[in-house]
């Protein structure tokens, strides 16, 4: 519980006791409502039940008294109307008493009370039966019998009924007093309960508020203040509490923890800087000592390297001079051999080029022959297509002639229709209009077919001209094909002769190449010797240069080390 309270914001921490106080008020209100309900139940029991039972008991007692008075008056009355009036009054009173007895039975909340009230009703009915006999005697003016029965049996039953009624009235009064006592006790209990709940709720809320403020506000802030003062004095071992809290105290604690971590890190860096300074001083001392030793060793080594490089340089110069002399002598022989070889190779190359040219000419001629054959075949195919076009144009001309004939026939029919419509007079005017329209359309058709026939004739003429031209082209291509075949044969014969010449020149070239190869071997050996001498010379110079560079670098290194 403490953890989640610590994580609450200060506003929520202060609001929590207020919420508890409001909850206590709600509990007090609920307890008040419950107490009021209990008081209502007791009041209902007192007013609607106990008071009603007392009222019904007293009403029965009152109605019995009224009934007894009416009974006596009926006995004493001498007139029939008076007797009847008192009898009716009796019956009304006894009826009201019976209704009150039924109400008592209905208000019975226990089996015992119901049995008592049921017994009371039975006694009431038994009393009524006796008094009904008395009233019968009174109506018959038999007053002696009426008095005798009323004074004996009627009085005994009335007294027994009144005794039970007195007991019920006393019991109902006792119930009323108990109800009043219960109401008083319930009211006192409710007042005490509400006071206790209010006192406890307010006490808990105030105690909780004091605990939250002291434990989660004042205490943490006091500890953080103490930690801040301790860290400000340089006590970096001081623990910062509340870093994991998620309230304002936690935020302040985390900020203080960052300050502490930075201070610790700064102190660690200062200590490391001091240690590194001491290490650097010791290292510089060791470097100075090693530099002195290194200076003596390297200077002696560089001097020995320089001496060896100078001896090696002299030997390389001697070897290079001998190699140059050998190379000059072999170069003279090689130059003469190369010249002869070049002449033979020139002839061989010319023959090879001539052979290649002849082969290329032969290939081009064969390709031209193939193209010519293809062109001849395509010209023949075009000739066939043009001939088919001429036949199609001729067929179109036949169709146009047929259309022209139909148009002429339609024109004649339209003329006949016009004549017949003229004969028909007024009735044939509509037919005449149609005939004229048909005649007009026939004329247009005839003109259109004439124009189409002219165009088809032009197409046929152009087609015939194209047929003649393509035939001429095909004949020319055939002649070119024959000439190309003849040229190809001649070129193949020339190529065979040229190839024979090239083979003879190649044999002569082989001999000169062998001589040149041998001389080249001598020259190559001389060159390799010279190159080796040059390599040795270069290595000696490089060694000398590197030793000088090494000397400079060592001096620079030692200077920098000493300066450091």
The rounded distance, in Å, linking the Cα atoms of 57 and 45 is 17
Segment 280-337, tens digit of pLDDT: 877 777 776 766 776 667 567 666 656 755 665 665 566 566 556 646 755 664 565 4
CATH code of the domain containing 133: 1.20.120.1730
Residue 243 lies in a domain: no
| Residue that wins the pLDDT comparison between 136 and 422 | 136
Segment 137-181, tens digit of pLDDT: 999 999 999 999 999 999 999 999 999 998 888 888 888 788 778
The pLDDT, as a whole number, for residue 63 is 94
| Residue that wins the pLDDT comparison between 495 and 250 | 250
138 near 146, Cβ under 8 Å? yes
Cα separation of the two ends of the chain: 65
The rounded distance, in Å, linking the Cα atoms of 540 and 308 is 9
Q: Has residue 533 got a pLDDT over 60?
A: no
- How many independent structural domains does the chain possess? 2
Residue 249 lies in a domain: no
The rounded distance, in Å, linking the Cα atoms of 405 and 411 is 10
Q: Has residue 383 got a pLDDT over 60?
A: yes
**pLDDT band of 459, cuts 50, 70, 90:** low
Closest by CA position to 58, among listed 154, 156, 172: 172
Q: Has residue 134 got a pLDDT over 80?
A: yes
Strands (E), 504-552: none
In the predicted model, what is the mean pLDDT of residues 207-229? 72
CATH code of the domain containing 507: 1.10.287.950
Burial 438-451 (b: 16+ CB within 10 A, else e): bbeebeebbeebee
Residue 187 lies in a domain: yes
Residue with tokens 């189409």: 452
Q: Has residue 501 got a pLDDT over 50?
A: no
Reduce the secondary structure of 229-297 to three states and give it as a string: HHHHCCCCCCCCCCCCCCCHHHHHHHHHHHHHHHHHHHHHHHHHHHHHHHHHHHHHHHHHHHHHHHHHH
Of 171, 206, 241, the residue that ends a domain is 206
Look up residue 95 and give its two tokens.
Answer: 């009826």
One domain, residues 193 and 321: no
Domain extent for 361: 317-533
The rounded distance, in Å, linking the Cα atoms of 198 and 509 is 135
What percent of the chain has a predicted confidence (pLDDT) above 90? 18
Q: Is 489 left (phi over 0), alpha (psi -120 to 50) or beta?
A: alpha
Residue 85 lies in a domain: yes
The rounded distance, in Å, linking the Cα atoms of 154 and 68 is 9
The pLDDT, as a whole number, for residue 261 is 83
Residue 504 lies in a domain: yes
The pLDDT, as a whole number, for residue 367 is 75
Q: Residue 37 is inside which H or E element, if any?
A: helix 10-44
Residue 515 lies in a domain: yes
């Amino acid at each position: 519980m403490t953890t989640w309270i610590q994580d609450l914001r200060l506003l929520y921490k202060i609001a929590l006791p207020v919420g508890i106080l409001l909850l206590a008020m709600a509990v007090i209100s609920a307890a008040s409502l419950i107490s009021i309900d209990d008081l209502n139940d007791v009041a209902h029991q007192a007013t609607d039940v106990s008071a009603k039972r007392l009222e019904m008991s007293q009403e029965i007692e009152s109605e019995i008294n009224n009934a007894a008075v009416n009974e006596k008056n009926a006995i004493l009355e001498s007139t029939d109307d008076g007797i009847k009036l008192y009898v009716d009054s009796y019956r009304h009173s006894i009826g009201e008493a019976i209704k009150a007895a039924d109400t008592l039975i209905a208000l019975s909340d226990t089996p015992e009370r119901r049995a008592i009230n049921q017994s009371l009703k039975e006694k009431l009915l038994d009393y009524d039966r006796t008094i009904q006999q008395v009233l019968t005697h009174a109506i018959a003016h038999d007053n002696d019998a009426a008095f005798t029965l009323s004074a004996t049996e009627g009085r005994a039953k009335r007294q027994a009924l009144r005794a039970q009624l007195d007991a019920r009235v006393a019991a109902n009064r006792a119930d009323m007093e108990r109800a009043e006592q219960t109401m008083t006790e319930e009211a006192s209990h409710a007042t005490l309960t509400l006071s206790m709940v209010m006192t406890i709720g307010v006490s808990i809320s105030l105690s909780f508020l004091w605990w939250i403020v002291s434990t989660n506000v004042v205490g943490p802030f006091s500890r953080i203040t103490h930690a801040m003062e301790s860290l400000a004095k340089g006590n970096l071992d001081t623990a910062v509490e509340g870093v994991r809290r998620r309230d304002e105290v936690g935020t302040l604690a985390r900020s203080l923890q960052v300050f502490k971590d930075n201070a610790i890190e700064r102190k660690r860096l200062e200590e490391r800087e001091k240690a590194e300074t001491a290490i650097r001083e010791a290292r510089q001392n060791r470097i100075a000592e090693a530099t002195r030793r290194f200076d003596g060793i390297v200077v002696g080594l560089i001097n020995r390297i320089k001496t060896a490089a100078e001896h090696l340089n002299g030997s390389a110069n001697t070897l290079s001079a001998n190699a140059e002399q050998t190379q000059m002598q072999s170069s003279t022989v090689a130059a003469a051999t190369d010249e002869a070889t070049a002449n033979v190779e020139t002839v061989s190359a010319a023959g090879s080029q001539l052979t290649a040219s002849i082969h290329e000419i032969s290939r081009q001629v064969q390709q031209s022959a193939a193209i010519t054959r293809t062109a001849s075949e395509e010209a023949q195919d075009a000739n066939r297509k043009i001939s088919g076009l001429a036949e199609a144009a001729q067929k179109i001309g036949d169709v146009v002639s047929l259309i022209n004939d139909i148009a002429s026939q339609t024109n004649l029919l339209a003329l006949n229709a016009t004549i017949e419509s003229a004969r028909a007079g007024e009735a044939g005017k509509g037919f005449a209009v149609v005939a004229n329209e048909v005649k007009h359309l026939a004329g247009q058709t005839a003109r259109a077919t004439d124009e189409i026939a002219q165009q088809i004739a032009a197409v046929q003429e152009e087609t015939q001209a194209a047929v003649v031209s393509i035939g001429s082209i095909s004949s020319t291509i055939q002649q070119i094909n024959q000439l190309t075949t003849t040229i190809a044969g001649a070129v193949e014969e020339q190529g065979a002769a040229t190839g024979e010449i090239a083979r003879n020149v190649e044999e002569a070239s082989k001999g000169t190449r062998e001589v040149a190869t041998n001389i080249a071997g001598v020259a190559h050996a001389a060159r390799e010797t010279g190159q080796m001498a040059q390599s040795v010379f270069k290595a000696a110079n490089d060694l000398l240069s590197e030793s000088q560079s090494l000397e400079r670098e060592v001096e620079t290194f030692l200077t920098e080390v000493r300066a450091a």
